[in-house]
Amino acid sequence: MPPSVNGMNGTNGHSLPGTPRKGGFKPKAKFGLKKHAENGNGHAAGNGKDGTNGNDVVNGAGGSVADEPKILSPSEPKVMIPFHTKAGEVPRQVQIERKKRLYALQDINQLLDERKDVLSEKKVEVANSTLSLELFDNTDYESRNQREWFLGKEHVTHARAAKFDDEDDAIVAWEPCTVEDVKEEDNSYLVCFKSSGEKEWLPRMYVCFQAEDPFQFVKRFVETHVERSKSELQLCYDFYVDNMPTEDIPLLTNEQVNRILVYALNSKKLKDKLMDTSQLINEINIDYARTMNKLVFDVILETNEESRDSAIIKIEEEFLFPPKQLAPESGTVPLPPYDFPEQFSQFSFHSFLTKPEVITAIVKVKSEGFKIQKMNIFNVHYTKSSKLQEFEQAQGQATDQVANQVKETWILTLKNLIRSSFKDVGKGWFNLNEQNQET
């Protein structure tokens, strides 16, 4: 006769004390493995000696280690797909693998060569610019922060970085490398080139990580150069205009100055004060002269191409004369079909805040609630020392006063406020004279 056991399936996995192992009850291995495999919420166990593989162990609560959020590896592309996909959908790991292969096939040098016309037109060579390129880096393209790209020295992070020429600081090629450190203060990374083993600190925009979208990286790189070129052009243009002579330009007339002062001092506080406006008028005259010079400068560049070509930095026509936008066919913005009366009716039905009486009642009730919050259940205002009996008596009076205010006066005040707010509502949801509860 087999020994008695207390398990739910008739076994507890161990023989009772005093019972020989050879003569004890032995359940079938197939039955025991099946029960173990179907434990929890249906996840299969592993193939270890104890029925587990250390990863998909099902706990008693029905969860698993696989359900816990994983740390995103810097070697895996970022995908906006749930960890557990439905039937018929492409699994998350398959999507990641597809992106990894797509990114690995792209050549940064070739992608930049396709945008070579834009880069050459904007004069983006490093040696020909005095402005640092990192100042114009658009971080909106960044998909991860610094610590997500570089998890530490124990994790190998692969990337492609720009290799510069030692003579003119021009980019020679984009070579494979590994990232070994990061400086968060200036957003730069220490890279080690695989070909030569040379280590160098490079700004973020010169490092394309293995898990980073190379198309977005090239777009970010080109946009940075274009923005720097525009800024250099704007600085050059402003420099020309600011250094034009202003001695021959007439100042504002007295009528114009008086008109400006009337509009500027048209307030109660400024009318009663005697203010010295000579310095402000002087600044306005300087801005006026600069504007006149700017108009003359634009006319010369527009009519004379030789003057435009002889500038220190060639000023492009797109900068001086941006393309004009076409006038819209109508003065309104087209919207998709939208049933506003129906939506407003649904909102009014589900919301209380559609009548002024309701809003008034809510404001009054909140005002009374704020008064209760300001009350103290203890008497903390003492000007002199007191006996223990007097202290207890004062605290009891303060507590009774607050309790009486909350239980009687406050409730009665709220009732009167609600009744006074809804007395003129009439028939409807807020009719106080309605007697039928089913209405």
| Segment 151-189, tens digit of pLDDT | 877 788 889 998 888 777 778 889 999 998 888 888 889
Q: How far apart are CA 433 and CA 435, in angstroms?
A: 6
93 token code pair: 């790991």
Which pLDDT score, from 0 to 100, does residue 119 have? Answer: 65
Which pLDDT score, from 0 to 100, does residue 102 have? Answer: 92
**Least-confidence region, from 229-233, 306-310, 385-389:** 306-310
On the question of pLDDT at 51 being above 60, the answer is: no
DSSP codes of every residue in 246-315 = -TTS----HHHHHHHHHHHT-SHHHHTS----HHHHHHHHHHHHHHHHHHHHHHHHHH-HHHHHTSSSPP
Q: How far apart are CA 138 and CA 131, in angstroms?
A: 15
pLDDT digits (tens, 9 = 90+) for 139-148: 888 888 888 8
Q: Helix, strand or coil for residue 203?
A: strand
On the question of pLDDT at 128 being above 60, the answer is: no
H-helix segments, 305-378: 305-309, 317-320, 340-350, 356-373
Share of the chain above pLDDT 90, in %: 13
Which pLDDT score, from 0 to 100, does residue 307 have? Answer: 60
Which pLDDT score, from 0 to 100, does residue 311 have? Answer: 56
Any idea what DSSP says for residue 45? P
Q: Decide which of 27 and 288 is more confident.
A: 288
What are phi and psi for residue 121, nearest 5 degrees?
A: -65, -30
On the question of pLDDT at 48 being above 60, the answer is: no
Q: Which pLDDT band holds residue 192 (cuts at 50, 70, 90)?
A: very high
Which pLDDT score, from 0 to 100, does residue 299 have? Answer: 81
Q: Decide which of 5 and 295 is more confident.
A: 295
What are phi and psi for residue 355, nearest 5 degrees?
A: -125, 140
Which pLDDT score, from 0 to 100, does residue 318 have? Answer: 60
Q: Which pLDDT band holds residue 22 (cuts at 50, 70, 90)?
A: very low
Q: Decide which of 76 and 319 is more confident.
A: 76
Which pLDDT score, from 0 to 100, does residue 191 have? Answer: 92
Q: How far apart are CA 383 and CA 361, in angstroms?
A: 40
Which pLDDT score, from 0 to 100, does residue 321 have? Answer: 63
- Mean pLDDT, to the nearest integer, of 243-261? 87
Report the phi/psi class of residue 251: left, alpha or beta, with left for phi > 0 and alpha for psi in -120 to 50: beta
303 token code pair: 């009519």
Tokens 């309790």 belong to 403
Residue (of 378, 382, 380, 381) closest to 401 by Cα position: 378
- Mean pLDDT, to the nearest integer, of 95-110? 90
- Mean pLDDT, to the nearest integer, of 85-93? 88
Neighbours of 218 (CB within 10 A): 18
Report the phi/psi class of residue 152: left, alpha or beta, with left for phi > 0 and alpha for psi in -120 to 50: left
Q: Which pLDDT band holds residue 39 (cuts at 50, 70, 90)?
A: very low
Q: Which pLDDT band holds residue 384 (cuts at 50, 70, 90)?
A: confident
356 token code pair: 């002024």
Q: What angle do CA 221, 201, 218 make, to 5 degrees?
A: 15
Domain boundaries, the chain: 101-235, 254-320, 352-422
Distances in Å between the Cα of 108 and the Cα atoms of 115, 121, 174, 290, 402 are 11, 20, 7, 45, 74
**Least-confidence region, from 17-26, 105-114, 397-406:** 17-26
On the question of pLDDT at 337 being above 60, the answer is: yes
Q: Helix, strand or coil for residue 181?
A: strand
pLDDT digits (tens, 9 = 90+) for 289-322: 999 998 888 888 777 766 655 655 566 656 666 6
- Mean pLDDT, to the nearest integer, of 43-54? 41
Q: In this structure, are residues 188 and 204 in contact, taking their beta carbons and an 8 Å threshold?
A: yes
Indicate the average pLDDT of the chain. 76
pLDDT digits (tens, 9 = 90+) for 397-432: 989 989 988 888 899 999 999 888 888 877 777 788
